[in-house]
Amino acid sequence: MALAAALLLVVFLTGSATGVQRTVLSIYAKGFVKSALLAFMPLVIYGLFKGTIDMIGGWLSDRRGRRFAIILGTAVYLLGAFSIVGLRSLSGIILGNVMVGLGEGIVFASAMIALSDIAGSKEAGLGFGFMEAFVYSGFGAGATIAGFLWQAYGIQAPFYYSLAASATALLLAITAVRETKGLVKFEERARAEENIASTLEAYKICIRTPSVLVTFFAAHVAKFTDALAWAAFPLLFAAKGYGDVQIGLLQGVITFSWALTMPIFGRLSDKWGRKPIIVSGLFLKGLGILALLEAPGFMESLAASLLVGVSYSMYYPILPAVAVDIAPLSVKGRVLGLYRGIRDLGYFTGGLLIGALIDAYGLPGAFNFTVTLIFAAGVLAIFLLKETRPIWPFFRLVLSHVDTMQRTAVAYWELVDAYRRGDVGEAEELLREVKELEHLGDKLKVEILDKIWASRLPFGDRMDFERIVETLDVIAGRLYQAGEKLLRRSRGEVPDEFLDELLCLIEKLRTGLEVFRRDVEALHESPAYALKLAEEVRELEREMDSATEKALTLIEDGLDAGKIDVVTYIFLKEVVDKVEDAADYLKDASDIVRVVSLKHST
């Protein structure tokens, strides 16, 4: 917790150092030039260098470590703050924002990756929510502080705050931040995923996955709108006649409401799914910007600012979580670096286009164009974004059904073991337990099917889960039948080596059910990871086929050698066939889970 707190404080301080520019930069730069496009050049340069360095920040975090990258980034940022304070000119602001963009890009990319190491991929939305909450709380604090400093000491005063905040961030990074890269290997899915070292292969995964491409576009548009908030909102508020403190307050409301609600929506996306929140946030954001443009008075502007801020938080921390759900953890840093790079280049494209549109068509032209982009991103998300954290109302019941099949396999293994030891009474008691578990499985199956067909899920999803439950439910019945067949033969008629091989076969079935259980659970946490586990079940099924062949060979050899009679051979063969059937049904259920995984991970 102390490490996470240190990281969050570093990004808060860095964010607050940049936040002052959201209130004063465009107006300060306007003092040197008359063109809106030229006045936006510091923002354009900041976005260009921040977006470019994000990718390098991700690479540095994977190669040299998160801590190294954070210290380097805060040091570069501090140099940029010195430039803005020391060189009181447009060229000084541009040079300073080159280094501010470079430093902030490295710091935020590396801190995002480090915090996701700590939170783990299961809570990626929550981790990114807290990360962005502290970033934009810093932006909000800086924007609000800038308004008061501007009023009290002049428009240059806020930049001295940037200098102090960035120096403190560097000191904290050196003294309190530790390396987190090693935490990735402890995640369960990291042990099953392919270890990819190539940066090019990591980028190929992103390019050929439509869901990731949609998040890249939506994220770029998000920064485009942030450029609007940074550069054009103060001009809009000034045109409406609001004073310095009122402008700072409106900017602060947007940023604070954005920041404070991001952990909430990030957490909700971990529990309830990514796509609905992302799509809702994009459309609400467009409506909020239109409301801000048309607001007739300060209170209406305040309400619209609140809507803009909250809608930001509905998609901003969740978009990178989609990439983490899909990409292998071994290249998480580079994938997040690419994501942040494309996203933050929105400052560059946004600053250029918004400045040009204001010069050509005034503020309404820039606002309407931005809203059109936001709505376009929302439409793309509806049709192309897959739900990488899917939610099914009957999901926990399905897991309970899988647990019942696991308990049945354990009870059957214990039955064979008791029979192997000659304790027929215990074996018969365990057979009754297997029967009770079969009844429990049937009861759960009926309950699940009722919920499946009472839900409003797409027909295909309902069919998939019906097939999973129906297929899996056969396992308990097959194991009961196998136990019943075995106990019909007296202990002396069954060779020890056959029972040893049967126990080995059942143990592999138990292991397969354990992996299958994790596979089903992973459907919610990471469908891409569920695909890997489905392959593990297929591999175990091949091992079970081999164990089945050995068991059958043993009884065939026993029959040929006269060690067992024909009736015993038939009974024991049926025992093996029933267990093999159970293994086959497990594989079939796993194949259906694989299909569901593919629907949500490509």
Tokens, residue 234: 């103060």
* For helices 395-420 and 496-525, angle between their N-to-C axes, nearest 10 degrees: 170
Mean pLDDT of 572-579: 94
Confidence of residue 189 (pLDDT cuts 50, 70, 90): low
Residue 114 has pLDDT above 70, yes or no: yes
User: Which pLDDT belongs to residue 24?
Assistant: 61
Residue 88 has pLDDT above 70, yes or no: no
Mean pLDDT of 139-145: 78
Q: Do domains 2-187+198-384 and 395-601 have the same CATH topology?
A: no
Residue 17 has pLDDT above 90, yes or no: no
pLDDT tens per residue across span 219-274: 999 888 887 887 788 888 888 888 877 887 887 788 778 878 988 998 899 888 89
Mean pLDDT of 321-326: 84
Residue 331 has pLDDT above 90, yes or no: no
CATH class, 2-187+198-384 region: mainly alpha
DSSP code for 80: H
Residue 494 has pLDDT above 80, yes or no: yes
Answer whether 0.75 is exceeded by the pTM.
yes
Mean pLDDT of 462-473: 93
User: Which pLDDT belongs to residue 426?
Assistant: 96
Rounded-to-integer distance, Cα 348 and Cα 346, Å: 5
User: Which pLDDT belongs to residue 372?
Assistant: 95
Mean pLDDT of 7-32: 74
Between the CA of residue 439 and those of 279, 408, 474, what are the distances in Å? 43, 11, 11
Mean pLDDT of 170-186: 81
Task: Give the number of other CB atoms < 10 A from CB of residue 298.
Answer: 16
H/E/C letters for each residue in 445-478?
HHHHHHHHHHCCCCHHHHHHHHHHHHHHHHHHHH
Residue 343 has pLDDT above 80, yes or no: yes
Contact 350, 224 (CB under 8 A): yes
Residue 38 has pLDDT above 60, yes or no: no
pLDDT tens per residue across span 502-539: 999 999 999 999 999 999 988 887 777 788 788 888 88
Confidence of residue 425 (pLDDT cuts 50, 70, 90): very high
User: Which pLDDT belongs to residue 96?
Assistant: 77
Residues with Cβ within 8 Å of 216's Cβ and at least 6 positions away in sequence, in order, are 206, 338, 339, 342, 343
Q: Which amino acid is at 187?
A: E
pLDDT tens per residue across span 281-310: 999 999 999 999 999 889 999 999 999 999
User: Which pLDDT belongs to residue 41?
Assistant: 57
Query: What residue ranges do the domains of the chain occupy?
Result: 2-187+198-384, 395-601
User: Which pLDDT belongs to residue 57?
Assistant: 75
Domain 395-601 falls under CATH 1.20.58.220: yes
User: Which pLDDT belongs to residue 277?
Assistant: 96
User: Which pLDDT belongs to residue 445?
Assistant: 95
User: Which pLDDT belongs to residue 452?
Assistant: 92
Confidence of residue 485 (pLDDT cuts 50, 70, 90): very high
Q: What's the whole-number average pLDDT of the chain?
A: 85
